[in-house]
Amino acid sequence: MSLLVACASVDCSAWAVSYQFLRGSVTVSQPISPSRFKSPSHLSRVITDLNLQYPVSIIHCHPRTSSLAMDLLSGSSQDQPVYEVLRINKRKGTTTTTIDRTDPSTGHSYPIYMVFYMQDQNLLELRHADPRLQNPDCTPLAAVKFHSLSSKLDLTLRGHPFRMARPHLLSGSHAFRYGPAAPELKWKERSEFSSDLVLVDGWGVMLARYRRKVRDGYGYKGPGFELFVPPHVIDLDLVVATGMAASRYHKREEEVVVAAVGEAVSSAE
């Protein structure tokens, strides 16, 4: 769910607010009466309060007020509430990786997805951990096909094929649409100095983040996903499938660079 705030006046006196619910490929907007603010400082307090509850993005801002609003909303994701942390757990003594959810009442984690990576086939599969939710024909919930000579990622989720692709050759992001009418989302590098990846919508609002070291408040410190929106208002299958695809692609890319550097050093000796 994204909260969109639109400004039309210089003195911040006429702001229109609407909630937009994103659920799969369906978008429903609910307009609300324009809000009135006494001053830019009053506006900043309201936006800060809103941003503690919902991801917020600004559209149609007047130049005089847009910088104020964007400064407030483009801060570190550490200031955004994390609704849930999903652990990426490599099971000891096995080749199985699971995506785990934590029960807040007990602090115990349990798997909700299983991840299988077949390096020889450049293929990643995502399956429900609960056998009762798995497809009767044994097909995976999601499959990701990597390509040796291309940055494109071909995915199938719940039987629907789509593609993640870089907007241009030097881009550090992978954009995608799950269906022709669905909004465009993209996984991108948090910064050139970080291995974190963030999932953003078309307005730049962060929906989720992949981190190699994430803390969940229950003693876990390892790879995982942070969700910046309530899990019930986002397609969790889509977030996990595309997030695993993006993180695996970046890991493969790093391995290629490390191998190339190793060969260069060996050749120079």
3-state secondary structure the chain: CEEEEEECCCCCCCEEEEEEEEECCEEEEEEEEEECCCCHHHHHHHHHHHHCCCCEEEECCCHHHHHHHHHHHCCCHHHCCCCEEEEEEECCCCCCEEEEEECCCCCCEEEEEEEEEEHHHCEEEEEECCHHHCCCCCCCCEEEEEECCEEEEEEEECCEEEEEECCCCCCCEEEECCCCCCCCEEEEECCCCCCCEEEECCCCCEEEEEEEEEECCCCCEEEEEEECCCHHHCCHHHHHHHHHHHHHHHHHHHHHHHHHHHHHHHHHC
For tokens 């719940």, the residue is 158
The answer on 223 and 123 residing in a single domain is yes
Of residues 100 and 182, the one with the higher pLDDT is: 100
The answer on 219 and 104 residing in a single domain is yes
Query: Does the residue 269 lie in any domain?
Result: no
Last residue of a domain, one of 34, 55, 75: 75
Last residue of a domain, one of 75, 107, 132: 75
Which whole number is the average pLDDT over 227-245?
A: 93
Query: Does the residue 266 lie in any domain?
Result: no
In the chain, the number of structural domains is 2
How high is the mean pLDDT of the chain?
Answer: 74
Q: What is the reported pLDDT for 47? A: 55
Q: What is the CATH number of the domain that holds 209?
A: 2.40.160
User: What is the pTM (predicted TM-score) of this model?
Assistant: 0.68
Last residue of a domain, one of 75, 100, 132: 75
The answer on 214 and 164 residing in a single domain is yes
The answer on 245 and 124 residing in a single domain is yes
Query: Does the residue 264 lie in any domain?
Result: no
What percent of the chain is predicted at pLDDT more than 90? Answer: 36
Dihedral (CA of 154, 223, 128, 182) sign: negative
Q: What is the reported pLDDT for 84? A: 92
Whether 105 shows a pLDDT value over 50: the answer reads yes
Query: Does the residue 162 lie in any domain?
Result: yes
Query: Does the residue 139 lie in any domain?
Result: yes
pLDDT digits (tens, 9 = 90+) for 21-70: 333 333 334 333 444 445 555 555 555 555 555 454 444 444 444 444 44
Structural domain for 201, as ranges? 84-259
The answer on 213 and 89 residing in a single domain is yes
Of residues 43 and 102, the one with the higher pLDDT is: 102
Q: What is the reported pLDDT for 211? A: 93
